[in-house]
Structure 1
Amino acid sequence: MTRADFDNLVLSISGRLYAHAFRMLGNRQNSEDTVQDVFVKLWKMNKTLETYGSIEALAITMVKNQCIDQLRRIKLADSENMEILYPRSDTSPSPQEQMERKETMRLLNRIISELPQIFRETVKFRDIDGLSYEEISEKTGQNINTIRVNLSRARKIIRDKYTKCRNEHR
């Protein structure tokens, strides 16, 4: 791949990669750094990029993996700091917490089961199975924008119903 081809690739996918990173990290600077790191890695792989079916899919996977690594490091650092500040003698959830978690899962499962089938499938594929939009598109035959819209609508319904149920039980 020539430098010009790589520059065109960067221009064509950088927005999508940034959006993916920002959705996972929620931080502009970390998202930009992640995308930049992925482009550096891709450039280092320059000679073998042609062997990949979809360079964009590879880049999205690399961004996703790098974001997961960052989140793990942040979570580990936070948990270590919290443990130092507030040591717990028992790290297992209390019976009350266990009961609340089970009740929350039952409620969410009920809400999801009541969704229209297209929303239910989209939520299952994305949030439960962890599939990418591209993978969901391959399974369902829907275009990616339709999947994004359906997922957004489904999540809003779930959020609204969950909030309503929680407020009724207080």
Structure 2
Amino acid sequence: MDVSRFKAEVLPLKNKLYRFALNIVKDEELAKDVVQECLIKVWEKRSEVNLIQNLEAWCMQITRNKALDKLRSKHVKKTDLFEVEFDTRKERDTPYVMTERGDLMTRIKDLIDALPDRQREVMQLRDIEGLAYKEIAEALEIDINLVKTNLFRARRKLKESLIKVDAYGL
């Protein structure tokens, strides 16, 4: 791999890698460090890149491993840093609608954070990052059926929790 291929194929992944790392470490600066270490490792292993079938999944796997290493080594305290923009029509929204949306996103973030680690990782990679099941299986080094099972359970638990909260108004 030369510099131009690195810039064309690996650097465009940095934002996706950052979001994935941030989901794991819950700290913006630490997530940036994880992504930087991942990019360095990819560059150092550039002679082996031609043997890799899915570069994106490989980078995700490196990012996950680096992020987990950071958590283990630093005993990082998790913080609340999840923000999602899902509607670009803000100028037409009333303050009430914006508050409702913010509350919903906070509830969803809390529910996702309460999921078991594996379910949370699979949901992040599939529903937020848009990876295919096979790519997730490669990135997390698990069987594709386990990916599907974890995603199903995560979505079901999220749905049940949202329905329960809405039904009881809590």
TM (norm. structure 2) is 0.52
Please name the residue that 1:40 is paired with: 40
4+ residue runs of structure 1 moved beyond 3 angstroms?
128-135, 137-140, 150-156, 158-165
In structure 2, C-alpha distance between the alignment counterparts of 1:16 and 1:58, rounded to whole Å: 13
| Structure-2 residue corresponding to 1:64 | 64
Match of 1:160 among 156, 162, 167: 162
**Aligned-pair distance for 1:25?**
1.2
Equivalent residue, structure 2, for 1:136? 133
Q: Which residue of 2 aligns with 1:109?
A: none
Distance 2:45 2:53 in 1: 14
Q: Could you say if the C-alpha distance between residues 160 and 53 of structure 1 is closer, same or farther in structure 2, counting changes exceeding 3 Å? A: same
Contact 2:25/2:67 (CA < 8 Å) preserved in 1?
yes
Name the structure with the higher helix share: 1
Establish whether residue 10 from structure 1 lines up as the match of residue 10 from structure 2: yes
Aligned to 1:24: 24
Q: Which has the higher contact order (CA 8 A, sep 6+)?
A: 2
2:55 aligned with 1:55, yes or no?
yes
* 2:119–2:153 contact (8 Å) kept in structure 1: no
Which residue pairs with 2:119 in the alignment? 127
1:161 to partner: Cα distance: 5.5
Identity score, percent: 19
Instruction: Check 1:127–1:162 CA distance in 2 against 1; reply closer, same or farther (3 A cut).
Output: farther
- Whole-angstrom CA distance in 2 between matches of 1:19 and 1:128: 13
Relative distance call for 1:70 and 1:7 in structure 2 (3 A) is same
**How many residue pairs get matched?**
114
Deviation at 1:155, TM superposition (A): 4.9
Structure 1 counterpart of 2:12, one-letter code: S
Identify the residue that residue 107 of structure 2 maps to in structure 1.
none
Aligned alpha-carbon RMSD (Å): 4.0
Cα deviation, 1:60-102, whole Å, max 9, x if unaligned, reads 0000011111112233x87xxxxxxxxxxxxxxxxxxxxxxxx
Q: Tell me, what secondary structure is at the counterpart of 2:37?
A: helix
Residues 129 and 37 of structure 1: CA distance in aligned 2, closer, same or farther (over 3 Å): closer
The whole-number CA distance in structure 1 between the counterparts of 2:134 and 2:14 is 21
Alpha-carbon deviation of 1:157? 2.0
Residue type of the alignment partner of 2:158? K
- Residues 27 and 158 of structure 1: CA distance in aligned 2, closer, same or farther (over 3 Å): farther
